[in-house]
Structure 1
Amino acid sequence: MSDASDPYVIRDRLPEPETFAALREATEMTARSLEGIERGLPNSLFGAVAVHEPTDETVGMGRIVGDGGTVYLLSDIAVHPDHQGRGLGTRIVRRLEGYLEREAPPKAYVTLIADVDGFYEGFGYDDVRPASKGMYRRTE
């Protein structure tokens, strides 16, 4: 439970599929189909959400996907614009990092696609270029 000066709490869980979709939309992230969300979320290795306790509303999220041994991807890190600027993104990433510290074996590859300059570097992440190049493809 949070104190009166901090109405937010970070919980170890995944958001509901509808909340996941709504947070992506509110933060102008690329939409995902509800079918894809419902299929994908249960396959996450770990998730954390920011909850505004006075309203019990999930206002932020982040999760880790991967194979649980060699490859981990921090994904879907988002905080609703009405609740940004309060350190919730940092608290979510710290929770995800705590999971990695506990669970990831030595030499595991941890990656993410950053959409905010300077944020993830504070957690020890480096640009992959020129050694590597990030790529993507979307299904129709």
Structure 2
Amino acid sequence: MEIKMNSLTAELFLELYRSVGWEPPCAEQVKKALENTLATFTAYDNGKPVAMVRLIGDGGMSFYIKDFAVIPKYQSKGVGSMLIDSLESYIREIIAPDWAVSLELISTKEAVPFYKKKGFEERPCEWDGPGMFKMIR
């Protein structure tokens, strides 16, 4: 398994997005999103793309995991962990040694145990409010 940074194209994004049953946005919207993404990480098995994740954020205080997709055949085989580890290593490389930054996401219910194993906390938690989002159309 190989992880490549910033190799994700709009076409590949749409292929991986559909592979997990999500209704994809249009190609133009994906291209714009990729232009404004801090970094992408794509997993390849013998040259075949099998998973992706985008990292967005301000580069200083806040980072956000978006569009994390692993094709079903490769789920629960360590591919997601490799992507998260690569993404976290990248963040550590670009921030100052004494900085603390937030890494956030919105999880599906099924993926909560995976993220908890990777050190993420569920929201709501005892000391803070819930993670929230709103779709604007």
Q: Which residue of 1 aligns with 2:136?
A: 139
Corresponding residue of 1:17: 10
Count of equivalent residues: 131
Distance apart, 1:33 and its partner CA: 2.1
Name 1:113's counterpart in structure 2. Answer: 106
- Residue 30 of structure 1: CA displacement? 4.2
- Separation (CA, whole Å) in 2 of partners of 1:70 and 1:39: 23
Alignment correspondent of 1:34: 27
Give the partner amino acid of 2:116: E
Q: TM-score, normalised by structure 2?
A: 0.85
Residue number in structure 2 paired with 1:4: none
Instruction: Give 1:46's aligned residue.
Output: 39
- Please give the root-mean-square deviation of Cα atoms over the aligned residues, in Å: 1.6
- Sequence identity percentage: 25
Q: Provide the rounded CA distance (Å) in 2 between the counterparts of 1:33 and 1:126.
A: 32
Preserved contact between residue 14 and residue 63 of structure 1 (Cα < 8 Å): no
**TM-score, with length taken from structure 1:** 0.84
Q: Give distance in 2, aligned partners of 1:123 and 1:103.
A: 20
Give unpaired runs (5+ residues) of structure 1.
1-7
Q: Which amino acid aligns with 1:121?
A: K
How do 1:75-86 and structure 2 match up within 5 A? 75-86=66-77
Superposition deviation, residue 75 in structure 1? 1.3
**Structure 2: tracts of 5 or more residues without a match:** none
1:74-114 deviation line (CA, Å, top 9, x unaligned): 11111111222321111111101111222234232210111
